[in-house]
Homo-oligomer: A and B are copies of this chain.
Amino acid sequence: MTELDEIDRKLIHALGRDARQSASALGKRFGLSQPATWRRIKRLEEAGVIAGKRLRLSAEKLGFGVTVFLGIKLATKGRVSLEDFERAVSAIPEVQTVEHVLGLYDYRLRVVARDLPDFERVLRRRIMTLPGAGEVEANVLLSEERMPGPL
């Protein structure tokens, strides 16, 4: 954990909304000079608080109209089977995120597909054949909103 003051939090919050803002523009808004603002951002990057910058991509514009969340319960949970499962699931291009979780399910996957027939193909030929996959539960994404919360 890192010590942050008010200005650091404001900077993180502002950059979280749009990472393309310049240090000088942010400095004006928060009453700092350009180098001072830049040094703060640099310090946050070096401390690992800011781990990088990523693109926000539109799944629809890329032709992926369907996003499905899968909850997966493994049939056999040895150490080997976890690694086997993770290696196999990492090879599926339609899988965007793999989350190892504790609870009703063992893994949660975010999967994209062009449409529902395409998703059925992914599900039958890729997901259902994963080594160790037991119960699979699906939720189709209708809409999503990210909040300007603490992170």
Contacts from A to B (Cβ < 8 Å) = 1-2, 4, 12, 15-20, 47-64, 69, 71, 86, 90, 93-105, 108, 112, 137-147, 149-151
Contact = CB atoms under 8 A, between A and B. Distances in A.
Given A50-B55, A62-B151, A103-B139, 14 more contacts: A1-B60, A12-B55, A12-B57, A51-B57, A52-B55, A52-B56, A64-B151, A69-B108, A94-B149, A96-B146, A96-B147, A97-B145, A99-B144, A104-B137
Contact of A147 (B54, B97, B102): B97
Given A101-B139, A142-B101, A149 B50 contact: no
How often does this chain occur in the complex, in copies?
2
B51 A53 contact: no
B97 A146 contact: yes
B53 A56 contact: yes
